[in-house]
Amino acid sequence: MQRRTFARLVLPVLLTALALTGPGCGGGGDGKAADEAAAFSYDFPPDVPFDPAEWTTATDYPAIGDPRSVKDDGSRPFISPWLTFPPTLRTDGPNSNLSTTRNLHALMFETLVQLHPETEEFIPCLASHWKIEDNPDGETQTLTFRIDERARWANGEPVTAADVYYSYWHRIQEDRKDPSNVMTFSEGYEMPVVVDRQTITVKTKKTNWRLFLYFSGMPIYPAAECSIPGEEFLTKYNWKFMVGSGPYELAADSDLKKGESITLTRRDDWWAENETWAKNTYNFRRLRYVVIRDSELTYEKFKVGELDWYRVTRAQRWVEEIPQEKDVQRGVIQKRKIYNQSPLGYGGFAFNMRKPPFDDRRVRLAFAHLFNRERLIEKLFFDQYVPINSMFPGRDWGNGDKNELIEFDADRALELLAEAGFKERDDAGYLVGPDGKRLKITFAFGNQSFERIWLVVKEDYEAAGIEFELKLLDASTLMKLITDRQFSMHFQTWGALLFPNPETALRSDLADKTANNNIPGFKNAEVDALLERYNKVFDRKEQKQITREIDRLFCAEIPYAFGWTADYARILYWNRFGHPDTYLTRIEQYPDNSMILLWWYDAARETALQEALESGGEMPQYDGDGEERIVKPWAGK
């Protein structure tokens, strides 16, 4: 029986629901369930002798926090904006898989193992050691984890193997009404076995290199709180948190103001405080998330100091407005464009390939040639973005350097449409097909701020003889149309995983089903075979070869007319912070996550900021007045 060692195991993909992309591996709770946790009992088997030499761990890895950082006294919170308040605070169940709640949970609940945000190697968290062993059947594996004996919940109780067992059990219960959890965990594993108080083992049901990641990256909850019936869980934790084990908690009921704000407080007794992966991280005593439902109002509130930072999503604002702001020019507000190596999502017009006219590849390709991205990037986006031609842009998992970059070409589009039967025009000048019906597309969208973009796009389609109707819908109505596959073409954007998991979007058996990620209805037997092979390959180089081939085949079918992307973050922040020279971690996609993890209040800067605000004076602004500082700490790596 061969054991897969830490060095041999290829680093797996991240589920969006799993918090494994930063050293916080999580942490926190409301601290009020101590009596409940104390009442829970579990009859552990006798302790099994533990020999660290027989296990995998990591000790020689770079520190994550900056040694210059300081912990603040909590006199002011670090304030971030939310556009909407989450519909629930629950970790699982309906409406829980949102970025807002997931970011909170990542600060409140820890995982067994985590991924170093610089090296991308596994390092400890709740589990100090682990094993990955092949089973005699040659198809499955046994994963074993040793819980750190020092790990503690916020109520002081030790974290045990029983907590891990029930955290898994909780996710496969259908009464939680979270089918994605049930599918991922029940299809991947046998029920775990508690070996002793500190040790748990679980057998996989199939070969899939990501299964170690999913289990080791599963946030762990106290058994006393997650082992309750689903109806009770859904109600009880709708607006409260379970006890957590990491750096932050909801310290008081008054820190939750439904629909308005939520404030988390850093614990004084975090068990991992002095671990290499935790030291000098999470330096803000309090974090406050405030709801500002209007993006323009968010910017205005930032400018008057009600928010600590602002992510600039409009290219026009970045290029034209912000350099003219006096507070930027005099340095009290700092402006940065920061590049890192985080995975990039993809997006564009998803064509419904299940029905005409987009069941014809020639029509899809024609529409892709009429999607004038070059014009949008130049005229509306101020050359701040680049067109994409891959479902895995940015890193080396995709075939983007070899896939065709489809450019605007109206003549070629008309040739393709003619080949597909759209040769004649009606009295209004619109193309008609062999059935005499006009080529008309109704494009529904849900964000009115994007209308300025779609009006430009409409011009090019109309000029080619396609009636292109714009239809603004509320978000819920639009989502139902997409979910039920009652659309013609839809502009869809996707986030990115550090390690791709393409099967959820590409498997042929999902194409004709509703409510899944295969929005275009993509079917390809060759891709299905590659997806199956991809799951079973443990060599990183071979994995990338497979995803590049998947990418090639997918893009050749034109399920999407791809859009654009950028491999940087544009941020503004008040000049009161210290930060690492890199500003962000190498693989973090969301700037505020890195800021919360790594930044700190700098007392000297705060004093200088207040003096400048009172006197109208200046603070140093990099690269001259009003100019952005471009930060590329990983260039060439």
CA distance 29 to 220: 12
CA distance 232 to 238: 10
Instruction: Give residue 5's pLDDT.
Output: 32
The class (CATH top level) of 3-266 is alpha beta
> Out of 3.40.50.450, 3.40.190.10, 3.40.640.10, 3.10.105.10, which CATH number does the structure's domain 347-565 have?
3.10.105.10
Which of 214-223, 565-574, 613-622 shows the lowest per-residue confidence on average (mean pLDDT)?
613-622
pLDDT given for residue 449 in this prediction? 85
Could you identify the residue written with the tokens 């009442």? 39
**Model pLDDT, residue 627:** 56
pLDDT at 623 over 50: no
pLDDT of residue 305: 97
Predicted pLDDT of residue 420: 98
Question: What is the pLDDT averaged over residues 371-375?
Answer: 97
* Residue 597 in this model has a pLDDT that exceeds 80: yes
Instruction: Read off φ and ψ for residue 558, nearest 5 degrees.
Output: 55, 55
pLDDT of residue 17: 32
**pLDDT per residue as tens digits for the range 24-82:** 454 444 444 444 444 678 999 999 999 999 999 999 999 999 999 999 999 999 999 99
| Fold match flag (3-266 vs 347-565) | no
Rounded Cα distance between 368 and 375, Å, is 14
| pLDDT over 90 at 625, yes or no | no
Output the pLDDT for position 546: 98
Burial of 587 (0-12, 13-18, 19+ CB in 10 A): buried
Residue scoring higher pLDDT (227 or 9): 227
Q: In this predicted model, what pLDDT tens digit does every residue of 454-471 receive, in sequence order?
A: 999 999 999 999 999 999
pLDDT band at 636; cut points 50, 70, 90: low
Model pLDDT for residues 540-551, shown as the tens digit of each residue: 899 999 999 999
pLDDT at site 6: 30
Percent of the chain with pLDDT over 70: 92
pLDDT of residue 622: 59
Which of 10-40 are b and which e, b meaning 16 or more Cβ less than 10 Å from the residue's Cβ? bbbbbbebbbbbbbbbbbbbbbbbeeebeeb
Rounded to an integer, the average pLDDT of 604-629 is: 82
Give the DSSP H or E segment for 296: helix 295-303
Closest CA to 440 of 363, 332, 354: 363
Flag the least confident range among 34-38, 236-240, 308-312.
34-38
Using the predicted structure, report yes or no on whether residue 8 has a pLDDT greater than 70: no
Measured CA to CA, the distance from residue 409 to residue 450 in angstroms comes to 24
Q: How confident is residue 628, by pLDDT bands cut at 50, 70 and 90? A: low
Give the per-residue pLDDT at 39: 61
Question: Taking 50 as the threshold, does the pLDDT of residue 588 lie above it?
Answer: yes
On the question of pLDDT at 374 being above 60, the answer is yes
Q: What is the pLDDT of residue 605?
A: 95
Question: What's the chain's average pLDDT?
Answer: 91
Secondary structure class of 600 (helix, strand, coil): strand
pLDDT, greater one: 164 or 620: 164
Distances (CA, A) of 78 to 9, 275, 282: 38, 24, 11
For residue 244, give the 3-state DSSP assignment.
coil
Among residues 552, 506, 498, 511, which one has the least CA distance to residue 529?
Answer: 506
350: enclosing H helix or E strand: strand 347-351
CB atoms within 10 A of CB 99: 12
Separation in Å, CA 382 to CA 205, 566, 571 = 51, 12, 17
In whole angstroms, how far apart are CA 491 and each of 37, 352, 446, 564?
Answer: 47, 11, 10, 12
Confidence at 635, pLDDT banded by 50, 70, 90: confident
Cβ atoms of 19 and 28 within 8 Å: the answer is no
What's the confidence (pLDDT) of residue 500?
Answer: 92
Q: What is the pLDDT of residues 130-182, one digit of tens each?
A: 999 999 998 999 999 999 999 999 999 999 999 999 999 999 999 999 988 89
Collapsing DSSP to helix, strand or coil, 290 comes out as: strand
8 Å CB contact between 26 and 218: no
For residues 169, 171, 173 and 176, what is the CA-based torsion angle, rounded to 10 degrees?
140
Q: What percent of the chain has pLDDT over 90?
A: 83
Examine the pLDDT at 21 and tell me if it is beyond 50.
Answer: no
Domain residue ranges in the chain:
3-266, 293-341+568-631, 347-565
